[in-house]
Amino acid sequence: MSTVMHPSAAINSDPLVIAGVEYHSRLLVGTGKYRDLEETRAATQASGAEMVTVAIRRTNIGQHANEPNLLDVISPQHYTLLPNTAGCYTADDAIRTCRLARELLDGHDLVKLEVLGDEKTLFPDIIQTLQATEVLVKDGFKIMVYTNDDPIIAKRFEELGCVAVMPLAAPIGSGLGIRNPYNILTIVENATVPILVDAGVGTASDAALAMELGCDGVLMNTAIAGARDPVMMASAMKKGIEAGREAYLAGRIPRKRFASASSPIEGTFF
């Protein structure tokens, strides 16, 4: 559902609202696949993101007890952390992960739910994701759900109580960009919760396109971390998201088959 904005609305008066909290950046980033923690820190900062995803994994016992920790450079004081259920192929594993994440983060209950169906495509297992959603919503979690670009399913997740629905553009890490723009458009038009494209974005124009379709935000990881210069790409993505959002709010011209001249005919002297 789009908000009617004043034509000169600045970025700060067009916040992204998720579960009642305002964010000024519509770019959300993952923290995986970086060369090291310093690169993670620098790229995340350059992106301007306010919400970042993290994974929940076993602590290394015994080795590197004093190794710096992700949360030392990506502090919960400065960022909203969004724990994910990456690597889960069953609803049970995802539910267990969310509960551990909530305990880890002192009761913070905003989570990214993903339940995978296939190792090659990393497409979501929608049936397992729906099952996990039902249990987790009852358990009080605020769910941002990773799903496919099926508008019927997207609306179903919203009806089950997800606080945001996140259709994929293309397979995770593929960099293919939005494969089904008309599906994304339909999802956006039908939604009353924020819609964020999550997965498959490759470059800044992909992010801009998502925003031009009316999406509320974009979540990406590989597109930045896998770029030759992640800090520069983070900056490009930030600008791409802002450009796409302004273009959307500005109201583009329609596509026409034939030309319409930009200069008047009257007054020609030839």
Partner 1 sequence: MHIILNGDQRECPDRLSASQLLEDLGLTGKRLALEVNREIVPRSTFDTHIIQPGDRIEIVHAIGGG
**Residue 61 binds partner 1 (CB under 8 A):** yes
Number of other residues whose CB lies within 10 A of the CB of residue 18: 22
| Tokens of residue 193, six digits | 């919760």
CB-based burial of residue 92 (10 Å sphere; 0-12 exposed, 13-18 middle, 19+ buried)?
middle
| Tokens of residue 165, six digits | 């629905």
**Residue 34 binds partner 1 (CB under 8 A):** yes
33 is catalytic: no
Find, among 183, 249, 240, 239, the residue nearest to 214 by Cα.
249
**Residue 207 binds partner 1 (CB under 8 A):** no
Stretch of 65-73, 136-144, 180-188, 258-266 contacting partner 1, by CB under 8 A: 65-73
Stretch of 78-86, 137-145, 148-156, 207-215 contacting partner 1, by CB under 8 A: 78-86
Stretch of 32-40, 156-164, 229-237, 238-246 contacting partner 1, by CB under 8 A: 32-40
Residue with the two structure tokens 């900056």: 235
Number of chain positions touching partner 1 (CB under 8 A): 35
Please identify, using beta-carbon distances, which residue of 31 and 235 lies nearer to partner 1: 31
Residue of 69, 121, 127, 159 that binds partner 1 (CB under 8 A): 69
* Distance in angstroms between the alpha carbons of the first and the last residue of the chain: 51
- Nearest approach in angstroms of CB 84 to partner 1 is 6
| Tokens of residue 156, six digits | 């179903």
CB-based burial of residue 19 (10 Å sphere; 0-12 exposed, 13-18 middle, 19+ buried)?
middle
**Residue 249 binds partner 1 (CB under 8 A):** no
**Residue 32 binds partner 1 (CB under 8 A):** yes
- Nearest approach in angstroms of CB 212 to partner 1 is 23
What is the identity of the amino acid at 53? T
Residue with the two structure tokens 């606080």: 163
CA distance 208 to 206: 5
The SS3 call for residue 114 is coil
| Tokens of residue 15, six digits | 């916040």
Find, among 115, 204, 207, the residue nearest to 157 by Cα.
115
Stretch of 47-55, 162-170, 181-189, 255-263 contacting partner 1, by CB under 8 A: 47-55
- Nearest approach in angstroms of CB 14 to partner 1 is 26
**Residue 84 binds partner 1 (CB under 8 A):** yes
CA distance 7 to 23: 20
Please identify, using beta-carbon distances, which residue of 104 and 135 lies nearer to partner 1: 104
**Residue 166 binds partner 1 (CB under 8 A):** no
Residue of 16, 23, 30, 184 that binds partner 1 (CB under 8 A): 30
Cβ contact 29:79 at 8 Å: no
Of 33, 112, 120, 155, the catalytic one is 112
**Residue 196 binds partner 1 (CB under 8 A):** no
Catalytic center residues: 112
The binding site for partner 1 (CB under 8 A) comprises 30-34, 40, 53-59, 61-62, 65, 69-71, 81, 83-84, 86, 96, 99-101, 103-105, 172-173, 220-222
